[in-house]
Every structure is written in structure tokens, then in C-alpha cells.
């Protein structure tokens, strides 16, 4: 059986990042360049999600977090938002069985109260239908804002202090981290952003403090597992010092 030489190089290259986060950017630009409706760009982006999930499993990545829909995206035209929500439901209906078969457990976080009932029901089905997967933990950030997440964690800390469940002197980085959506998970080792943009876009601001960044000009619908492998190989060549000096 033939093996992808790039994957073989990755496997021989050293430690693989345990947690990879991706800002999936460029769907609209991909469609505009082809004189197509933006919604078709989002539909093509769904194919890249499958490619990336399968690539993450092949590479041995433990956790994959995808920025699917930001809180700021609610400002887009209603037609586009409606199409995005419809694609979310379609993705869940089409992919849940495949994800479960591949050992993927899906978690979803963000301000889900803003979603339609149909979308929330679909997410519940996806989470329940993939529970227990052991090959990959897939986080989907939907209606997500990192600043809102940190503010939510601060409110939960304040309430715990007010109720006497937590002493004021015990409010520290660990205490706040335990109240984020990602509590219990390692911070991302690697962040990939597609489309060449050089910003974090209010994504995992707390968690990305020491994350290695990989920016690729590839638009999200064109992103394949080989691009993921290239990003991991780039990561393997980095020296991560976390503020320390080299021994």
C-alpha cells in the first residue's frame, strides 16, 4: 500500500502537535474569484473540513479546533447567515455517521443560544452521535467570540467568589482557564490561518498565548490534508522556549 511521502516525512520529523486550531478563512474570496455566489464558497469549504479531519487523524493529532462561525459573522447579510446555518445542518446530517465511524468525538462551543432551534437540535444530535470517539476530538467554535468567552469566565469567577465557593486569593490563571470553553484541554500547539490574513480575529485569545502560528495564502476551500501536513512539518522545525532561553 502506497503512503504519502509528505505524511511519512511528518511521522519521521519529531513530535506532532497535540492540539491544532484553524481559522478557516477565504470561502467568500474563493467564490468571488470564480464569479460565484459566496454561499458556494462556503459549500466548498465543507469539503475542506472533511479533508482536514481525515488528515488530522492520519497525522496523529489529538485535538482539532475549527473556527466555524464567529459572533461577528452575525453582522453579515441575512441571506448569507441563513445559508450558513443551512450548511451547518446539512454537514451534520451528512457527516455524523462518517465522523463516528472514524472515531471522532465532536464538541461545539460558543453562544449557541443565538442559533435557530433546528441548528441547536442538529448540534445536539452531532454531539450525542459522536460521543465516545477516541481517535480525534473535534471542537467546532460556532457563534464564538474569545473576548465574550473571557468575560463569561470572569463572571463565573465573580459568582463563585460571591457565593463563597472560591476565595478571592485563589483567583488566578488556572482558575480562569477552568471556566473557559476549553477547560481540561491543552492549549493549541499550532494555529493555522488560511487566506494569508495576519490576524487572530478574536479567536482563542487566552489559549493562543504561546501557540506557534502558521499562515498560508491558500483559501480554505482549496485547503487539503497535504497543506495540514506541511503546517505540521513547519511546526516540527520550530524551537518552543515558552519565554525561557535555550539550554
Strand 63-70 and strand 19-23: the pairing is: parallel
Q: Is residue 160 a part of any domain in this protein? A: no
Active site residue 27: no
What was the pLDDT predicted at 1?
45
Active site residue 111: no
Which CATH number fits the domain that encloses residue 84?
Answer: 3.40.1180.10
Residues spanned by the domain of 112 = 17-146+188-234
Average pLDDT, the chain: 95
In the block, residue with C-alpha cell 519565554: 243
pTM, rounded to two decimals: 0.95
SS3 70: strand
Q: Given 4, 27, 73, 189, which residue is catalytic?
A: 73
Is pLDDT of 243 > 70?
Answer: no
Is pLDDT of 112 > 70?
Answer: yes
Write out the DSSP string of 194-227. Answer: -TT----TTSSTTTTTT-EEEE----GGG--HHH
What was the pLDDT predicted at 241?
73
Task: Assign 244 a pLDDT band (cuts: 50, 70, 90).
Answer: low
Of 56-65, 140-149, 232-241, the one with minimum mean pLDDT is: 232-241
Could you read off the pLDDT of 8-54 as tens digits, one per residue? 999 999 999 999 999 999 999 999 999 999 999 999 999 999 999 99
User: Which of 218, 217, 220, 210 shows the shortest CA–CA distance to 190?
Assistant: 210
In the block, residue with C-alpha cell 462518517: 98
Could you read off the pLDDT of 199-224 as tens digits, one per residue? 999 999 999 999 999 999 999 999 99
Collect all residues with Cβ–Cβ distance below 8 Å to 181 and sequence separation of at least 6.
109, 110, 141, 144, 149
Q: Given 4, 25, 139, 234, which residue is catalytic?
A: 25
Q: Is residue 162 a part of any domain in this protein? A: no
Task: Assign 159 a pLDDT band (cuts: 50, 70, 90).
Answer: very high
What was the pLDDT predicted at 167?
98
Q: Is residue 124 a part of any domain in this protein? A: yes
Q: How many domains does the chain have?
A: 1
Q: Is residue 3 a part of any domain in this protein? A: no
Q: Is residue 1 a part of any domain in this protein? A: no
Amino acid at each position: 500500500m502506497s503512503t504519502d511521502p509528505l505524511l511519512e516525512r511528518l511521522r519521521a520529523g519529531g513530535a506532532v502537535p497535540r492540539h491544532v486550531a484553524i481559522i478557516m478563512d477565504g470561502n467568500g474570496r474563493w467564490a468571488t474569484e470564480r464569479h460565484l455566489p459566496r454561499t458556494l464558497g462556503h459549500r466548498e469549504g465543507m469539503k475542506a473540513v472533511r479533508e482536514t479531519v481525515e488528515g488530522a487523524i492520519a497525522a496523529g493529532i489529538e485535538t482539532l479546533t475549527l473556527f466555524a462561525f464567529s459572533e461577528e459573522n452575525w453582522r453579515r447579510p441575512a441571506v448569507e447567515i441563513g445559508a450558513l446555518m443551512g450548511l451547518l445542518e446539512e454537514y451534520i446530517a451528512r457527516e455524523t455517521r462518517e465522523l463516528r465511524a472514524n472515531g471522532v468525538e465532536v464538541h461545539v462551543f460558543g453562544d449557541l443560544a443565538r442559533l435557530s432551534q433546528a441548528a441547536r437540535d442538529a448540534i445536539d444530535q452531532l454531539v450525542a452521535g459522536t460521543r465516545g470517539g477516541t481517535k480525534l476530538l473535534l471542537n467546532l467554535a460556532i457563534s464564538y467570540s474569545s473576548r465574550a468567552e473571557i468575560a463569561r469566565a470572569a463572571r463565573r469567577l465573580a459568582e463563585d467568589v460571591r457565593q463563597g465557593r472560591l476565595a478571592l486569593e485563589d483567583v488566578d490563571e488556572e482558575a480562569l482557564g477552568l471556566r473557559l470553553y476549553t477547560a481540561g484541554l491543552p492549549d493549541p500547539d499550532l494555529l493555522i490561518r488560511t487566506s494569508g490574513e495576519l490576524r487572530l480575529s478574536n479567536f482563542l485569545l487566552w489559549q493562543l498565548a504561546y501557540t506557534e502560528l502558521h499562515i498560508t495564502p491558500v483559501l480554505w476551500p482549496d485547503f487539503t490534508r497535504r497543506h495540514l501536513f506541511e503546517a505540521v512539518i513547519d511546526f516540527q522545525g520550530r524551537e518552543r522556549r515558552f519565554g525561557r532561553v535555550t539550554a
